[in-house]
Amino acid sequence: MNSPMTYRKYETTDGLRIQLSEEVFKKIQEHCVRHYPKEFGGIFYGSINSNTDTAMVEDIIVSKWFVNTTVLFRRIAWYFNWRLKQIHRRSNGQLYYIGEWHTHPNAAPFPSTTDLKAMCRIANNPNIRIKTPILLIIGYDGRQINECFYIYLNQNLTSYARL
């Protein structure tokens, strides 16, 4: 018998929410450890429940095509675009891109100027459905993982608190 799915839940002071399964978070943790001490990341796909203002993360996509150093992660877009088109088609439009995640090795999970600029570009991209993408930054020092979610809203990154 399958055990019930458990979720991590996050909320902003304005009542915006994120729901992320422990199973998906475990995948992210594994990537953090595997690629440490270099940055690594991927994207989230899922859906937005407008009745509850909740971003429902279905899963992550990572690629074997990327550039990373201890202070940089750059994903190669074509693979993610291809995978997202497949997912969108197979789900009859119910699942789509909702945001990004990446690590900050040996650093706190706070967004850099580069992170803010990247989220601005994503939000203003006419080919991306969501105009308020979410961002998860994972701080990892080789022992402990600290996460913080953000939403790009009104040209700023607003943090979520874990519930």
* pLDDT digits 0-9 by tens, 75-86: 989 999 999 999
Residue 14 lies in a domain: no
Per-position DSSP letters for 23-67, written without gaps between them: HHHHHHHHHHHHHTTS--EEEEEEEEETTTTEEEEEEEE--S-EE
Q: Is residue 5 part of a domain?
A: no
pLDDT of residue 4: 83
> Does residue 87 sit within a domain?
yes
Q: What's the rounded mean pLDDT across residues 8-36? A: 98
- How confident is residue 129, by pLDDT bands cut at 50, 70 and 90? confident
For the segment 129-141, the average pLDDT, to the nearest whole number, is: 96
Q: What is the residue range of 41's domain?
A: 28-158
* Average pLDDT taken over every residue of the chain: 96
Q: What is the rounded distance in angstroms from the CA atom of residue 152 to the CA atom of residue 163?
A: 20
In a domain, 60, yes or no: yes
Is 141 inside a domain boundary? yes
CA 50, CA 16: separation in Å to the nearest integer? Answer: 10
- Residue 6 tokens read as 């458990």
The verdict on residue 138 lying in a domain is: yes
Question: Residue 38 falls within a domain, yes or no?
Answer: yes
CATH number (domain holding residue 52): 3.40.140.10
pLDDT value of residue 151:
98
Mean pLDDT of 58-64: 97
Bridge partner residues of 75 (DSSP):
66
Domain count, the chain: 1
Residue 135 resides in a domain: yes
Residue 8 CB burial class (10 angstroms; 0-12, 13-18, ≥19): middle
- Give the pLDDT score at 111: 98
In sequence order, what are the beta bridge partners of 46? Answer: 57, 96
